[in-house]
A and B are shown apart, each in its own frame.
Chain A
């Protein structure tokens, strides 16, 4: 479960753990309260993946800290992380006293939307970084089977006023998305009924995401922040089975099937 420990670091002494959470923020679970232990270790880890966490907001996980709150150097941690261009924005877990101590330094407790922190580790930064020459890089850790988020499947119509959000995964709707309904996914969106509402794929900036609809009749389409409203879809094959994708900055609508 560790995030690619360096070969010379004994696994038990890993100074932090990085996990994804279902509010789509990264949680940095502190295993050690000392900035001088945590900050350099993070620096080492992420030097191999330049830019991976740059200016990324993170939530500090406090549950694993087994010291009294007054022994945690929050100002030191915040400053150290900011020095690495990582921006702590709040806390999760830990005792109420611990959360209060963090709050005094501007880190409010953040409740995750589903109420529970996800157990999957975030993707290891080495996997995302082509930077380092293979010779000096340690072998990537085996991907645990649970690391892939399963596709979200919705079997009911998505009705006017409803919003379905598939965080960190693809979305399949086997019914219709009605006018006034909204489907959002970080990955691809498949609608096996009519798509009459809004579909927003590639949340964030996943420009590879696509939208598929059996009967394409949307109010709004968006991929990776590029969007088209109904008026802009005059040339699209309305009423057909359609695939939508980005080519460069342009949206392409191709009939399928």
Chain B
């Protein structure tokens, strides 16, 4: 059975699209047939992060309005064979998406794919509601700051009351917490919320902690999902999170500030 996974947050700019691209790529690298859908109609970012913007001909709105077949709109990734992208439209507005239209697309994708990732727009209005409506699982992306946590809390409430699973009184949407842009040094200085505080408020299982990292910006500028950068801590943290998502046990990393102190500089790699 295909799993529909929404990547959502409430608050904007916290790393949903970055995380959608990383997770989709990571799942596909592990052999799962994966498609990632950009629900952010009007803004359209996912294709840039995935590096396929020049290959976009048709988009999800064209499919819903019957102007293109789903297969014409799907972009097959050139790096990872089992990965596809369904881009959003840049020109239409969010009202172009309908529940019936999205349902038809998801049903059709479910025949071919193991995982259907939905990259949600920010907010808790129509576009975000539609992105989460069909979800079986939710990756709730949160930054270590009060407003982001509050919005994630709100979106969790929405998942529990307005998703299809909630409406049909089936088992609830399975929730995962993904903390991104985590800066251990700033947390230590008390400028950002501690991990324990975030977990205490949201009280859902922690899937991963992605450190604040320049590699993310570098990756999006080159259109390469950061998870493909095995050197970077953010890439490794995403790879760990994908492994946990698939049921593996992995200790959390990158939670402490890097100690680039005198000791390390003096003795370098030979200290041990």
A interface residue numbers (CB < 8 A to B): 156-157, 159-162, 175-176, 178-181, 194, 196
Contact = CB atoms under 8 A, between A and B. Distances in A.
Interface in B100-151: 124, 150-151
Interface string B186-230: 000000000000001111000000000000000000000000000
Given A159-B157, A176-B200, 10 more contacts: A159-B154, A159-B160, A160-B150, A160-B151, A160-B154, A162-B161, A178-B153, A179-B150, A180-B154, A194-B200
What is the predominant secondary structure among interface residues of chain B facing chain A?
helix
A176 B201 contact: yes
Interface of B: 124, 150-151, 153-154, 156-158, 160-161, 200-203
The 10 residue pairs across chains A and B that have the minimum distance between CB atoms: A159-B157, A160-B154, A160-B153, A162-B157, A161-B154, A159-B153, A161-B157, A178-B153, A160-B150, A159-B156
Contacts of B156: 159
Contacts of B153: 157, 159-161, 178-181
What is the predominant secondary structure among interface residues of chain A facing chain B?
loop
Nearest to B151: A160
A159 B201 CA distance: 9
A164 B161 CA distance: 12
A176 B200 CA distance: 9
A34 B6 CA distance: 60
A116 B271 CA distance: 74
B203 A180 contact: no
A176 B198 CA distance: 13
29 contacts: A157-B153, A157-B202, A157-B203, A159-B154, A159-B156, A159-B157, A159-B160, A160-B150, A160-B151, A160-B154, A160-B157, A161-B124, A161-B157, A161-B158, A162-B157, A162-B161, A176-B200, A176-B201, A176-B203, A178-B150, A178-B153, A178-B201, A179-B150, A179-B153, A180-B150, A180-B153, A180-B154, A181-B157, A196-B201
Nearest to B158: A161
Nearest to A157: B203
Nearest to A194: B200
